[in-house]
Amino acid sequence: MDERRLSTRPTMRDVADRVGLSIKSVSRVLNGDPGVSEAKAEHVLTVARELGFRRNDLARSLRLQDRTETIGVVVRQASTRFYDSLIRGIDEVAARHGALVLTATTQSAEREQSAVLALSSRRVDGLIIVPSGEDQSYLRAEAAARMPMVFVDRPARGISADTVVADNVAGGYAATQHLIARGHQRIGVIGTRSSASTMSERARGYRDACREAGLASEDLVRWNAHGQEGAQQACEELLGLAHPPTALFALNNVCTIGAVRALQGAQLSRQVALIGFDDFDTADLLNPPVTVITQDVEEMGRRAAEAIFSRIDGRPTTSRREKTVLPTTLIARGSGEIEPDRPVARRIGA
Amino acid sequence: MDERRLSTRPTMRDVADRVGLSIKSVSRVLNGDPGVSEAKAEHVLTVARELGFRRNDLARSLRLQDRTETIGVVVRQASTRFYDSLIRGIDEVAARHGALVLTATTQSAEREQSAVLALSSRRVDGLIIVPSGEDQSYLRAEAAARMPMVFVDRPARGISADTVVADNVAGGYAATQHLIARGHQRIGVIGTRSSASTMSERARGYRDACREAGLASEDLVRWNAHGQEGAQQACEELLGLAHPPTALFALNNVCTIGAVRALQGAQLSRQVALIGFDDFDTADLLNPPVTVITQDVEEMGRRAAEAIFSRIDGRPTTSRREKTVLPTTLIARGSGEIEPDRPVARRIGA
DNA sequence: CTGAAAGCGCTAACAA
DNA sequence: TTGTTAGCGCTTTCAG
């Protein structure tokens, strides 16, 4: 109705003046504190609504000594499915605790630090971080101040903190085992950065399984397959070897899709088996349907959030760091069950 | 090194005391303001680092009258690809403006309001909202206070504000036209909520094209196909009709994947054409590859962010509402080019 | 039931 | 170059 001067938002002062009460009484009403007569409380509420009052949580949190009822999440935007499920899990728990979840996404590992520190400066009550940078020692001050924080997917480096991860080694082992059991002797691996712990652990599981079966492995591992194109190229290179692998193990989502692309593109005389780490929406719709190792990312989010809130609520022996390792599961859909040297059927259509 | 008492984070006061300077000088140094001798500045920086000082941005923003250098984004977690690209576009622009992008995701339309208002109470400088609720009039107070806000994907209801949307009608029209041009006379449509403007507009485009071609349309539209399962069922129902459609138009991502599932599952004697609204990662890997209508979601994010910042920076004639409509593009991959009554080729493999 | 005063951590305005 | 004072909007004593 009335044209306010210029983006000045009403304060409790304004409401109090309009109602003819003290600012404190207004505060009480607006926070549902007892000790204000029904009639006056009603009036305050009405006026607050008329004025479009929104409590300034900056001021409130400042006064409340850094309780912002907010937890910050920092993720690098890459494997989308991972992010989605993670947030879903976190949200579920945070909602129960009445906290707002604020996510900052970073497009590159370099920006991780600034995003995290920005959140810290805004005094979030806790931090859930999917580390993408090489080193998290920049969080030492927060650790010293006992800010609750949990690292998800990979452990932090340069600092000790709670961690929630999948059992990547076991997942890599299971995938490889699955292929070996079907007779594969040459299994190619496509991964992004060998420096990322998730990647290196999945590869370790692969190597363990190969060693146990008495197979060579190292010469069939291709790192630095970045993006779908990179993964596709790495696969094509593997498939072009004089003595090519009969099966592939893609260490993440993006690599898997790149591999599918490579396999569909190449005119191969033999079908090549494929197992991918991490599930994706259309995995069962591809031809052949893609066998994957899944991790329960939503559960990772839930566990991470629970860890945060138990620290926030100051659960007893708070100083010990906890590392939660969640199991992985193999979902057989077809691509991982292809046997070595199985001839390719005729293509559909044209 | 030293064990702080209990999660009390150091303030400028602490730094000042340690250095033997006034709090104001510390403030100057920490904000890169001029007027402090090189030597003392150096000392301040060192001590601040030792203490693990992080400026309290709650206090800073409070003092600075609601400039938090933060913009809030509210999305409902549903079509993941949409969200990802949107944030990427927003981040790009926000980074140029030195602002932090904080995203609150809601798992249901009902929580949209509380997430938005929580952000508003935290005094973000601007709000980018992908509305999922039916009514946004709860934002009247923010509008009155001239808080910069932009609605993306759908316009707001109950309030007038800047909007960035795709040309959904044109997209729906193009998809339908494309099918009609290939001889289809019965085109089925699968959508979620007819109350969502995106959905209804895409359907309008469909109807326009049908009418122009003199085709009946209404009896082949199926609403309330929620989730992949719902979409799949709706498709199966359409395909089971006595006089089934020869082509399908899926109004969003999820519907498209559900449709693919239905088409793969059904043992049809004739191939059915399919066009989906909105692209997805593996669309070109499916069999047949899926023809889609794409919208440039990243650009939507960029435009939205630019609109926000131009309001924040108080660009002149600020009071007019702007509606940006971005074009859509049809990407032909195969599924949309199938002609009516084309027999199904033999399936690969088993 | 109601209110006055103090202060959370910071910065702008104004001295010195 | 440096420091003092006041106050952002709120909540917590502690009095009326």
- pLDDT 10s digits, B146-187: 899 999 999 999 999 999 999 999 999 999 999 999 999 999
| Choice among A294-308, B73-87, B191-205 with the minimum mean pLDDT | B73-87
Q: Are residues A223 and A132 in the same domain?
A: no
- The span from the CA of B340 to the CA of B350, in Å, is 27
pLDDT digits (tens, 9 = 90+) for A113-155: 999 999 999 999 999 999 998 899 999 999 988 899 999 999 9
Q: Are residues B177 and B161 in the same domain?
A: no
Q: Are residues A147 and A193 in the same domain?
A: no
How confident is residue B113, by pLDDT bands cut at 50, 70 and 90? very high
For residues B287-308, average pLDDT? 96
Quote the radius of gyration of chain A (alpha carbons, Å). Answer: 27
Find the CB nearest A345 among B83, B282, B348. B348
Q: Are residues B221 and B322 in the same domain?
A: no
**CB-CB under 8 Å, A348 with B349:** no
Query: For strand C, is any atom closer than 7 Å to the CB of A51?
Result: no
Q: Are residues A219 and A315 in the same domain?
A: no
Q: Are residues B188 and B259 in the same domain?
A: yes
Q: Are residues B288 and B202 in the same domain?
A: yes
CATH code at B31? Answer: 1.10.260.40
What's the Å distance between residue B18 CA and nucleotide C10 C1'?
Answer: 18
**Six token digits for residue A60:** 């409130």
Kindly state whether residue B172 falls inside one of the protein's structural domains.
yes
- The span from the CA of B201 to the CA of A3, in Å, is 35
Whether the Cβ atoms of residue A100 and residue B118 lie closer than 8 Å to each other: yes
Kindly state whether residue A285 falls inside one of the protein's structural domains.
yes
Kindly state whether residue A267 falls inside one of the protein's structural domains.
yes
Q: Is residue A15 over pLDDT 50?
A: yes
Largest CA distance in chain B: 88
pLDDT digits (tens, 9 = 90+) for A18-30: 888 889 888 999 8
Among candidate residues B310, B201, B292, the one with its CA nearest the CA of residue B248:
B292
Q: Is residue A54 over pLDDT 70?
A: yes
Query: How many structural domains is chain A composed of?
Result: 3
What's the Å distance between residue B94 CA and nucleotide D6 C1'?
Answer: 34
Among candidate residues B50, B99, B48, the one with its CA nearest the CA of residue B73:
B99
| Choice among A119-128, B27-36, B170-179, B192-201 with the minimum mean pLDDT | B27-36
Interface of B with A in 100-159 (CB under 8 A): 100-105, 107, 111, 115, 117-123, 140-142, 144-147
Interface probe with A: pick from B67, B102, B318, most Cβ of A within 10 Å? B102
DSSP state of B289: P
- Is some CB atom of chain A closer than 8 A to the CB atom of B242? no
What rounded mean pLDDT belongs to chain B?
A: 90
Query: For strand C, is any atom closer than 7 Å to the CB of B36?
Result: no
Query: For strand C, is any atom closer than 7 Å to the CB of B30?
Result: yes
Interface of B with A in 28-67 (CB under 8 A): 51-59, 61-62, 66
Among candidate residues B155, B93, B75, the one with its CA nearest the CA of residue B323:
B155
Q: Are residues B301 and B158 in the same domain?
A: yes
DSSP state of A155: -
Residue whose structure tokens are 């519907």: B255
Q: Inter-axis angle of helices B168-181 and B197-212, to 10 degrees?
A: 40
- Nearest chain B alpha carbon to A51: B141
Main-chain phi, psi angles of B44, to 5 degrees? -55, -50
Question: Measured between CA atoms, how close is B46 to chain A, in angstroms?
Answer: 14
Kindly state whether residue B6 falls inside one of the protein's structural domains.
no
Residues of A in contact with B349 (CB under 8 A): 288, 345
Query: For strand C, is any atom closer than 7 Å to the CB of A31?
Result: no
Neighbours of A173 (CB within 10 A): 23
- The half-sphere exposure of B349 on its side-chain side, counting CA atoms within 13 A, is 10
Kindly state whether residue A284 falls inside one of the protein's structural domains.
yes
Whether the Cβ atoms of residue B190 and residue B234 lie closer than 8 Å to each other: yes
Q: Are residues B75 and B137 in the same domain?
A: yes
Q: Which domain holds residue B263?
A: 168-296
What rounded mean pLDDT belongs to chain A?
A: 90
Among candidate residues B214, B233, B211, the one with its CA nearest the CA of residue B224:
B233
Question: Measured between CA atoms, how close is A78 to chain B, in angstroms?
Answer: 9
Kindly state whether residue A337 falls inside one of the protein's structural domains.
no
Among candidate residues B103, B99, B114, B1, the one with its CA nearest the CA of residue B50:
B1
Question: Measured between CA atoms, how close is A181 to chain B, in angstroms?
Answer: 21
Q: Is residue A189 over pLDDT 50?
A: yes
- The span from the CA of A43 to the CA of A46, in Å, is 5
pLDDT at A210: 96
- Is some CB atom of chain A closer than 8 A to the CB atom of B319? no
- The half-sphere exposure of A137 on its side-chain side, counting CA atoms within 13 A, is 4
Residue whose structure tokens are 């088996």: A273
Kindly state whether residue A331 falls inside one of the protein's structural domains.
no
Kindly state whether residue A7 falls inside one of the protein's structural domains.
no
Render the burial of A110-127: b for 16+ CB within 10 Å, e for the rest: ebbbebbbbbbbbbbbbb
- The span from the CA of B79 to the CA of B19, in Å, is 53
Q: Are residues B101 and B205 in the same domain?
A: no
Quote the radius of gyration of chain B (alpha carbons, Å). Answer: 27
Q: Is residue A3 over pLDDT 60?
A: no
Whether the Cβ atoms of residue B34 and residue B18 lie closer than 8 Å to each other: no
CATH code at A287? Answer: 3.40.50.2300
pLDDT at B6: 46
DSSP string, B99-167: -EEEEEEESSGGGHHHHHHHHHHTT-SEEEE---SS--GGGHHHHHTT--EEEESS--SSS--EEEEE-
The set of strand C positions with any atom below 7 Å of a protein CB reads 1-5, 7-13
Q: Are residues B108 and B125 in the same domain?
A: yes
Element (H, E) at B28: helix B23-30
- The span from the CA of B4 to the CA of B21, in Å, is 22
Question: Measured between CA atoms, how close is B195 to chain A, in angstroms?
Answer: 25
Neighbours of B181 (CB within 10 A): 11
Q: Are residues A162 and A179 in the same domain?
A: no
